[in-house]
Copies of this chain bind each other. A is one copy, B any other.
Amino acid sequence: DAGRINYLKSVGFADANCCIYVPESVTPENVLLIAKTVNFSKWNKAPLAGYLVEGSNGEYVLLSDEERVNLIREARKYIPSDRLLIAGSGCQSTEATIEMSKKMAAVGADAVMVVTPGYYRNAMNDSALIKFYAAVADESPVPVILYSVPAYAGVDLSANSVAKLCLHDNIIGIKDSGGDVCTVLNFMWKQDIIVKHTKRNFVAKFALMVHLTEKSLGNRSFQVTAGSVSVLVPALVVGCVGTVSALANIIPEVVCKTFSLAKCGSWDDASALNRRLIQPNMAVTSQFGVAGLKAVMDAYGYYGGSVRRPLLSIDESGAKAAMKPFLENGF
């Protein structure tokens, strides 16, 4: 309903402590273990605005449809009602995505985050993506958050598309992880697409999305969030409202601290802290991937556990290498 959407549209602006830092909840096949172990109890102590369950680090593509819905139902039990449960509901087909969004809303999701469908990336031009998101948002009982992650999905949602989609009442924001990938690659498979400079420049795209959605809406209610904590402070300086970050699974309090320093205007301190996050973030994303993230979670007293096939777990020396930048940067 409109009240819920408005509430969600205002999340992130309320005060300096209420950001959209949402750890991507990992260990999909061990949802009960998550609950039994310390994960949510520890995460809940940090001033996080909510949680993304079934992001890329949540291995959602390795779950069956039934498992995906069950994971949301279980996670809800451990997430306080004043924190958001954002459910990753993306599928390859429009129909399947709508169906999944409905099911996830029914078991407690406050919003759904919908990744760009990527198998037919050639064909996923602006027009196809706009129609896809509009169709999903028309049918979803809860607000939709766009999710652009070319590294995984092979598709980059353009700033111009976002400027149009922000006009839909049920689309409230975007997680853009363009920088985790080559955001340009998809132009190769395309036929006649104008390449936009902003696609090649992570933070410039953030800034442009803030600029264009503000133009479209006449206000700043559309929420652009950084998909990588490595650029959290630069993202905030250009008008983003927060981040959805892999690193928040491990050191949520540091991520929150970086955010709140910036929001209080302590840009130098925020920036100095942010610079120390880059190498750790690289370790658990581009360098060692989901398996690395889980290994470091284990080391930090969380439950990380194993990855599903075909992903491979990392060995002890890999785990040490993934830990190294955390130690070297004082975490």
Among A112-143, those with CB < 8 Å from B are 117-129, 131-132, 135
Within 8 Å of chain B (Cβ to Cβ): is A150? Answer: yes
Point out the residue from B62, B96, B152 that lies within 8 Å of A93, measured CB to CB. B62
- In the assembled complex, the CB of A272 is this many whole angstroms from the nearest CB of chain B, namely 8
- Using CB atoms, name the residue of chain B closest to A202: B201
Binds B, one of A9-17, A103-111, A233-241: A233-241
- In the assembled complex, the CB of A118 is this many whole angstroms from the nearest CB of chain B, namely 8
- Using CB atoms, name the residue of chain B closest to A230: B204
Binds B, one of A73-81, A181-189, A295-303: A181-189
Within 8 Å of chain B (Cβ to Cβ): is A172? Answer: no
- In the complex, what residues of B have CB within 8 A of residue A199's CB? 189
- In the complex, what residues of B have CB within 8 A of residue A182's CB? 182-185, 187-188, 200
Within 8 Å of chain B (Cβ to Cβ): is A219? Answer: no
- In the complex, what residues of B have CB within 8 A of residue A64's CB? 96
- Using CB atoms, name the residue of chain B closest to A233: B237
A203 to B207, CA, bound (A): 12
- In the complex, what residues of B have CB within 8 A of residue A285's CB? 197
Task: Let me know if B154 and A271 touch, CB within 8 A.
Answer: no
- In the complex, what residues of B have CB within 8 A of residue A198's CB? 230, 278, 282
Within 8 Å of chain B (Cβ to Cβ): is A169? Answer: no
A181 to B187, CA, bound (A): 8
Task: Let me know if B188 and A191 touch, CB within 8 A.
Answer: no
Point out the residue from B128, B191, B192, B275 that lies within 8 Å of A208, measured CB to CB. B275
Interface string of A262-290 (1 = CB under 8 A from B): 00010100010011101101100111011
Within 8 Å of chain B (Cβ to Cβ): is A260? Answer: no
Within 8 Å of chain B (Cβ to Cβ): is A94? Answer: yes
Q: Which of A124, A188, A233, A239 has the most CB of B within 10 A?
A: A188
- In the complex, what residues of B have CB within 8 A of residue A282's CB? 196-198
A235 to B237, CA, bound (A): 10
Point out the residue from B132, B152, B265, B267 that lies within 8 Å of A310, measured CB to CB. B132
- In the complex, what residues of B have CB within 8 A of residue A62's CB? 92-93, 96
State the A residues within 8 Å of B (CB): 56, 61-65, 92-96, 117-129, 131-132, 135, 150-156, 158, 179-204, 207-208, 210-211, 228, 230-231, 233-235, 237-239, 265, 267, 271, 274-276, 278-279, 281-282, 285-287, 289-291, 308-312
15 interchain pairs, CB-CB under 8 A? A61-B119, A62-B96, A64-B96, A93-B310, A119-B152, A121-B151, A122-B190, A123-B311, A181-B188, A189-B286, A191-B195, A197-B286, A203-B231, A208-B275, A208-B278
For the complex of A and B, the 9 pairs showing the least CB-CB separation, nearest first, are A234-B234, A94-B309, A197-B282, A182-B184, A197-B286, A179-B201, A132-B310, A204-B230, A62-B93
**Other A-B pairs beyond A117-B310, A179-B204, 9, CB < 8 Å:** A93-B309, A95-B308, A121-B189, A158-B191, A182-B188, A184-B184, A197-B230, A197-B282, A202-B202
